Structure 1
Amino acid sequence: MELVFPYAHNVQVHWQPASEVQINNATLRHWLLDTGSLTERLQEQCDALTVNRLGQGAAPLYANEQRWLPQHSVHSWQVREVLLCADTTPWVFARSVLPQSLVDGELANLGNEPLGKRLFNDARFVRSDFELCQVPAQAFCFDGKASPKAHLWGRRSRFHLHNDYIIVAEIFLTASPAYQGN
């Protein structure tokens, strides 16, 4: 199966520990640093939250993903990219790096189910601290209206279960409630 990831491809991302990033907007800061389930939080903000799976399969990892995984890790990996849409409006782009062992086990048959639903309903998964980034809005523009100078905020964290690690990166898109208020 050929897999193409059109949205996160060739986007230069500089991830920084959240503790080193200044965020003046309290609403945005709360969305970026909330340790609860993003899926559940988004569901509270809309009538219907859907997962639009853009792709999932074996794919090369980005250098920053490889560096963030344990060096002793000898897994084969799958990459999953989805849009979390509220009432058909894309709010969040998510890219997850999943070890094949978990795709075959605890995370089998995800389909269009939110990954967060599985992770947050299984207390065995432990989450790391967040890293944050800013990316050009045009790289994640789904409506053709992004300003060339606009940036979007993103966050990522690592979940682990025993010797298996998952990276979950989430980019808050222009229409996201993360940018409302303040």
Structure 2
Amino acid sequence: MSLKVSPEFPVGLDVNWEPSDKVALSDPYLKNWLLDTGSLTERVQALCRHFSLVKLGQGTKALHASETALLNATANSEWQVREVLLCADNEPWVYARSVIPQSLIDDELANLGTEPLGKRLFNDPRFARSDFHLCQATPEALSRLNMDITDTLWGRRSLFSFQESRMIVAEVFLPDAPAYESRYRYGR
């Protein structure tokens, strides 16, 4: 798939995160998307004819302060940042940023390539997911996506634990995502 845009890796997601129970969400449809504990990849796949994953990049990158704090990362920890777009019928619906310990990249998550991370996480019961944190990402926070984003977008993140390892999976619903369907349908 070729995108109409060329995002810069790493895009980053340096935003304020709040526990989901502290965020007032008046839109039940959006809330359902943000708090769905199933595989987001499978949900997107079920709603389109052609699913694709565009890997923006993966490598050793600096972590945001909130990521370091959530992971209890130390100066000698090794992490890889992986950023992708989940696309439905050639339209980007989700921007995802994962922070993965190098040890998992070397073992359980080796050779991911353009395979969705969720495919591995949700097919392996050894991975446990935490509660969600939510954010509102401004167009400025997502400027490196190089997309025409004019509204503040919603995102979520959670920790996945595997034995002694922990990793962050964060996802932001992009403007064309069906998570905002009620906004378009009812003019909100």
Output the TM-score relative to the length of structure 1: 0.90
Residue 60 of structure 1 and its aligned partner are, at CA, apart by 1.0
Residue 178 (structure 2) aligns with? 177
Q: Letter of the aligned partner of 1:157 in structure 2? A: S
Cα distance change on mapping 1:101 and 1:88 into 2, 3 Å: same
Q: Which runs of 5 or more structure 2 residues have no equivalent in the other structure? A: 1-7
1:146 Cα offset (Å): 2.8
Aligned counterpart, 1:146: 149
Equivalenced residues, count = 175
Map 1:1-80; keep pairs closer than 5 Å: 5-8=9-12, 12-70=14-72, 75-80=77-82
Residue of 98, 111, 114 corresponding to 1:112: 114
Q: In 1, distance between residues paired with 2:80 and 2:121?
A: 16
* Deviation per residue, 1:64-103 (Å, 9 max, x gap): 0000013579531000000001111000000000001100
Partner of 1:35, secondary structure, is coil
Supply the distance in 1 between the matched residues of 2:172 and 2:125 (Cα, whole angstroms): 25
Letter in 2 for 1:5: F
Amino acid at match of 2:117: L
The alpha carbon displacement at 1:12 in A equals 4.0
SS of the residue 1:180 aligns to: helix
- Are the equivalent residues in 1 in contact too, given 2:86–2:93 (CA < 8 A)? yes
RMSD: 1.9
In structure 2, how many angstroms separate the alpha carbons of the residues matched to 1:19 and 1:110?
Answer: 33
Return the alpha-carbon distance in structure 2 between the equivalents of residues 52 and 124 of structure 1. 26
- Report the secondary structure of 1:156's partner residue: strand
Assess if the C-alpha contact under 8 Å between 2:84 and 2:96 holds in 1.
yes
Shift of 1:48: 1.3
Identity of aligned residues (%): 53
Return 102-111 or 131-140, whichever deviates more: 131-140
Aligned to 1:168: 169
Distance (whole Å) between structure 2 residues aligned to residue 119 and residue 133 of structure 1: 22
Relative to structure 1, the CA distance from residue 151 to residue 122 in structure 2 (aligned partners, 3 Å threshold; closer, same or farther) is: same
Distance in 2 (CA, whole Å) between partners of 1:146 and 1:83 is: 15
Aligned residue type for 2:162: L
Partner Cα distance (2:69, 2:10) in 1: 22
Corresponding residue of 1:123: 125
Contact persistence 2:51–2:89 (CA under 8 A) = yes
Aligned partners of 1:52 and 1:175: how far apart in 2?
16
Which residue identity is paired with 1:21? V
